[in-house]
Amino acid sequence: MEWFDWGVYTTFTPFFASQFFHSDDPVSDVLKTLIVFAVGFIARPFGGALFGWIADKMGRKLSMSLCVALAAGGSLLIGISPNYATIGIGASLILVLARLAQGLAHGGELPSAQTYIAETAPKEKRGLWSSLIYFSGTIGQLTGTLLAAVLSTMLTPEAMNAYGWRLPFIIGGVFGFYALFMRLRMHETEAFVEEAIHDDPTGNEDEDHLHTKKGAIWQTVKAHPKLLFQVIGMTVGATVLYYVWAISAPAYAISVIKVPAAQALWAGVGAQIVFLAAVPLFGALSDRIGRKPILLSAVVGLSILSFPLNAMLNESAWSLFFAMSIALIFLAMSTSIGPAVYAEIFPTRIRAIGLAVPYSIAVALFGGTAPYLQTFFASQGMAGAFTWYSIALGLISGLVVLTLPETKGIDLKDKSVGQHGRRKALREVSG
């Protein structure tokens, strides 16, 4: 549901841009709305620091519960906000505040969720289990795109612009709070509990002893600068390519290439189904042959195919479907096992925050600006410049992958904790 909340913003941008901004140029309104999309990413590093700290200090469960509540609130705020014609610039400010709230939530959500899944999974199947992050997230994205396709088919353009765009944000807010209820019933991960016991081997029942020592988290983060730069390097290429092909491609096709809205959205639905099928396959494959070969295949393959895929795009929705599908198959290679790789390179004590801060910075600077830059360069007749930009970042990610050790099948849990103490702490943290 959190991915649904985040993704419907770009999917429905062509329909609600004029409701929050007012100009004589629809493309200008879209660009302003995409700037707000990028503004939401500014909050992500701060959310990563805050919720990553909570995840490593007080538990993955608490961090994930707070994140989904904040994201749901932001979605609901957009859905019920008055438009520009009613309250003027106040509508634009509400949109910015809602996206900042969602940016904070997403800054902590993905690292916390990735850490939770990786620590819960059997080590020999961690690649497959980690693929559930993007598999479930894509279901949220797919649901948003499918809803847009259905609404744009059933409603007139005037109705979509007037009220149809509000429905996904209201739905996202309501079901987001249901996701909060589900998360409050989760158990804490054993790896986190064992690290907490390692800080207090006596097994003291005071729940303060289930948290890591004061200051130890940031000291550990500062002791691993190489890991932080590796996360940024791995992320810059993948995040640009992901937001271009998996998130904003239908909206780009509608606004710039002039593909009919309903057709472009249905093409996006079809391509995302292809992506869903590919993600668990590559996750399972990485458990057999390793993480690095699959990561390298993803970034190198997409870099080589960037110009041919962009050249395929025309006013036909079929061209969008085939180009998106090919791109998403390669993206499935990296997204399926990214959560496992990120978790495997960090020690337990900083597994959430160590990923959250550099990852959020990379996504904010490169992923958040990708839809805007792509649309801007295309509007200036310089679409090729953005393609070269994405290729350069993809190659940087490939070089960083070469510096990583092969982490397939490593144990994420601290072996120094006895079974009795581990079971005792599990009861304390999980309730």
pLDDT at 6 over 70: yes
Range of lowest pLDDT (45-49, 69-73, 292-296, 324-328): 45-49
Q: pLDDT (tens digit, 9 = 90+) per residue, 216-240? A: 555 656 666 788 889 999 999 888 9
> Looking at per-residue confidence, does 231 or 38 come out higher?
231
**Local structure of residue 314 (DSSP, 8 states):** S
> Which value, to the nearest 10 degrees, does the dihedral of the CA atoms of residues 106, 108, 111, 116 take?
-110
What pLDDT does residue 29 have?
A: 65
In a domain? residue 112: yes
Residue 196 lies in a domain: no
Find the largest Cα–Cα distance for the chain: 69
Tens digits of per-residue pLDDT, 336-379?
998 899 888 888 777 877 888 888 888 878 887 887 788 788 88
Token pair belonging to 365 = 């600077």
Structure tokens at 326: 């090919």
Compute the average pLDDT of residues 46-53: 85
Q: Is the pLDDT of residue 284 over 90?
A: yes
Residue 152: its pLDDT value, please? 82
Neighbours of 381 (CB within 10 A): 8
Classify residue 207: in a domain, yes or no. Answer: no
Residues in Cβ contact with 8 at an 8 Å cutoff, skipping those fewer than 6 apart: 144, 147, 148, 168, 169, 172
**Residue 171 belongs to what domain range?**
1-187+217-426
- List of residues 6+ apart from 204 with CB closer than 8 A: none
Q: Tokens 């999974």: give the residue.
A: 121
pTM as predicted: 0.74
pLDDT at 197 over 70: no
- In this prediction, residues 94-122 reach a mean pLDDT of 85
| Contact between residue 282 and residue 333 where contact means Cβ atoms under 8 Å apart | yes
Q: How confident is the model at residue 416 (pLDDT cuts 50, 70, 90)?
A: very low
Confirm whether 151 is domain-assigned. yes
Output the six-digit token pair for 286.
């990485």
Q: Do 360 and 44 form a contact (C-beta atoms < 8 A)?
A: yes
What CATH number should be reported for the domain holding residue 107? 1.20.1250.20
- Chain-wide mean pLDDT for the chain? 81
210 in a domain, yes or no? no
Work out the percent of the chain whose per-residue pLDDT is above 70.
85
Please report whether residue 349 resides in a domain.
yes
Is 192 a domain residue?
no
- What does the pLDDT read at residue 417? 37
Q: DSSP letter at 201? A: T
d(CA 74, CA 96) in angstroms, rounded, equals: 10
Half-sphere exposure (Cβ direction) of 149: Cα atoms closer than 13 Å:
16
Domain total of the chain: 1
Position 198 in a domain: no
pLDDT exceeds cutoff 90 at 333 = yes
- Which amino acid is it at 392? A
